Amino acid sequence: MATETAVKPLTAFGYVTFDVVGTLIDFEGAIKDGLAEIAAKENVDVDGEAALSVYRDARYEPGAGLFPDDLGRCYSRIAEAFGLPDTEEYRQLMIERVGDAKPFADSAEAMAKLKARYKLIAMTNARRWAFEKYAEKLGQPFWAGFTTDDTGCEKPNPDYFQQVFDYVAKDGGTKDDILHTAQSQYHDIGISRELGMTNAWIQRRHAQKGYGGTIEPKEYTEPDYHFHALIELAEAADKAFEA
């Protein structure tokens, strides 16, 4: 599935910025797998999708920490909801499992294709230690990478985006040269529209109900480009450049 409503063709950009967790990396799958591992040890049934809802609510409580370190605290909320033991061992297990989350099946191939066309920039709400693991699994496609350790804030804070704009400016580019690509309406698509960027929504959960582990936006933002998988964007870019 691919929908294009952008006024700019894909050939107009020199940079593509990416949300990483949820767009390139399957963090929801890692949360479910970690919980399934714990549940099997404790002989407890845990509904993965229901657990993601608890995680989402916990993730946005006052005093939430940085991802994925905050999985320990969030696990405590999940443990309480599903009758799992809340131990330091299991808290650490969840942090490690999400820190080692795998890319979506199409991510590495798509990023390799896009790297041949653009300078790729990571904009992740993950900490640097986790991002470095994710980047390695993706084949090190990034020209530059920004994490919460670098920016001191999380998306959708406009200051995060401004730091990226400033970095691109040193390379001779502007925000008009950037295509912002992400799955989160709340963290990325809405704010990128407010900031005047062109965006591409990778709707990873198109076949599932709800927002999973990602906070629900106050309102839906119509993206400039809309794909169900990242490989669709990469193939569209190849087609545009080869036309």
Q: How many CB atoms lie within 10 A of CB 226?
A: 21
Task: For residue 47, give the 3-state DSSP assignment.
Answer: coil
Residues 6+ apart with CB under 8 A from 29: 101, 102
Active site residue 188: no
What DSSP string runs through 52-101? HHHHHHHHTSTT---BTTTHHHHHHHHHHHHT----HHHHHHHHHHHHTP
Burial of residue 122 (CB within 10 Å: 0-12, 13-18, 19+) is buried
Choosing from 19, 26, 70, 188, which is the catalytic residue? 19
Catalytic positions? 19
